Amino acid sequence: MFNILKPGTWFAPPHPLIGQNREAFARFDQSRPLTDYTFVVCDTELTGFDRKRDEIISIGAVLIRDLQIDLGATFHQYIRPRNIEHTQATLIHRITPQQLMEAPPQEEVLPAFVEFMGNSLMVGHFLALDMDFLNRAARKVLGGTLSNPGIDTMRMAQGYQRVLTGHFQEEEDRSCSYALEDLAKEYHLPMFKPHDAFEDAMQTAYLFLFLLKKFRKGGLLTLQDIYQAGRVGNMWY
């Protein structure tokens, strides 16, 4: 096992899922039409925003294929936190402590989620936060981070707003909020219950579909177009 003299054993080898995941995106092609990709829109519920102490207690996700939300491919799972005392004190979610006690640990949930994601692109609202916690967990459980490229719907919305207002300068001149709920209201999307990982993932999926197709109607046909013209942000997290 671990041998101080053999650097190769300093870190446990990554889980096979991580290997597959890396391989899948090793030569990722951004130039294909949008319809060629599948997307996993996800949201996580956390015990708090402290990177050291807090953890993921719920993952919700839904698959988009052919640029349509596939209701046959959804993922929703609670995760039993290691520090349940701490959790109870900070809960703002709909999840009851009882549900959390009965939930499987992240060692079970995370591999299932990585499998669910497969070769899809990750989509989330303020995705960086979710990815931060997911990768933290992945490193612990699977010995490596996820390679799936990501798209942040918040940045897409900012890009869309720039197109709408005709202001392409960097400064944001927008007074209202880019919170998921507020954007959904503004675009007249069907509304979901907030603070539930799955409902938020669905809400984000609607927002993503809305923005993606608006961009597409505007002539942005490939993933690269969306990244560049929409200035959705960095592809890699």
Partner 1 sequence: MAIFKGNDVHAVAPDVAVAFFQGIMPFNTLDAETLGDLARHCRIDFFPKGTRILTADTTELTHLYLIQRGGVKAFLEDDNGEVTLKDFRGEGASVGALAIIRGTPANLNIETVEDTFCFLLPREIFLDLIEKQAGFAHYYLKSFSEKIVTTAYNELRHHKVAPRRNEDLYLFSIRVGDLVKTLRKVAATATIQEAAAFMSEYRVGCLLVHDTIDEDKIVGIVTDCDLRSKVVAAGLDYKEPVATIMNSPVQTVLSQSLCFDVLLKMMATGIHHLAVERGGRIIGVITSHDIMLLQGHSPYYLFREIRAQQQITGLYPLARKIPEVIRGLIGEGAKAGNITQMIAILNDHILGRILTLLEQEMGAPPVPYCWLLLGSEGRREQTFKTDQDNAIIYGDPVDEAEKQAAKTYFEAFAAKAIDHLVNCGYPLCPGEIMATNPLWCQPFSVWKHYFDHWIAAPEPQELLNSIIFFDFRAGFGETILAENLRAHLNREIAGMDLFFFHLARHCMETRVPLSFFKNFIVEKDGEHRNRLDIKRQGLTPFVNFARVLALKFGVKETNTLARLKALMEGEQIQGELWSAASEAYELQMQQRLVHQLRQIETGILPDNHIDPADLSDLERRMLKDAFTVIDRLYGVLERMYPVV
Q: Rule CB under 8 A: which residues touch partner 1?
A: 62, 66-77, 102-104, 112-113, 115-116, 187-190, 192, 198-199, 202, 205-206, 209-210, 213-214, 217
8 A C-beta contact, residue 7 and residue 29:
no
- Complex with partner 1: residue 133 or 192, whichever CB lies closer: 192
- Complex with partner 1: residue 8 or 190, whichever CB lies closer: 190
Work out how close the CB of 179 gets to partner 1 at its nearest, in angstroms, rounded to a whole number. 20
Q: Report d(CA 119, CA 204) in Å as an integer.
A: 19
- Those residues with Cβ within 8 angstroms of residue 182's Cβ, 6 or more apart along the chain or in another chain: 176
183 SS3 class: helix
Work out how close the CB of 72 gets to partner 1 at its nearest, in angstroms, rounded to a whole number. 5
- Complex with partner 1: residue 39 or 237, whichever CB lies closer: 39
Work out how close the CB of 215 gets to partner 1 at its nearest, in angstroms, rounded to a whole number. 10
Alpha carbon separation from 15 to 26, 96, 193, 228 (Å, rounded): 17, 32, 35, 33
8 A C-beta contact, residue 232 and residue 159:
yes
Is residue 86 within a helix (H) or strand (E), and if so which, with residue range?
Answer: helix 84-90
Work out how close the CB of 52 gets to partner 1 at its nearest, in angstroms, rounded to a whole number. 29
Which residue matches tokens 């919170």? Answer: 179
Work out how close the CB of 175 gets to partner 1 at its nearest, in angstroms, rounded to a whole number. 23
Q: Is the dihedral of CA 134, 136, 137, 139 positive or negative?
A: positive
- Complex with partner 1: residue 77 or 222, whichever CB lies closer: 77
Is residue 18 within a helix (H) or strand (E), and if so which, with residue range?
Answer: helix 16-24
∠ CA(151), CA(147), CA(42), 5° rounding? 45
Work out how close the CB of 180 gets to partner 1 at its nearest, in angstroms, rounded to a whole number. 15
- Complex with partner 1: residue 204 or 237, whichever CB lies closer: 204
- Complex with partner 1: residue 203 or 237, whichever CB lies closer: 203
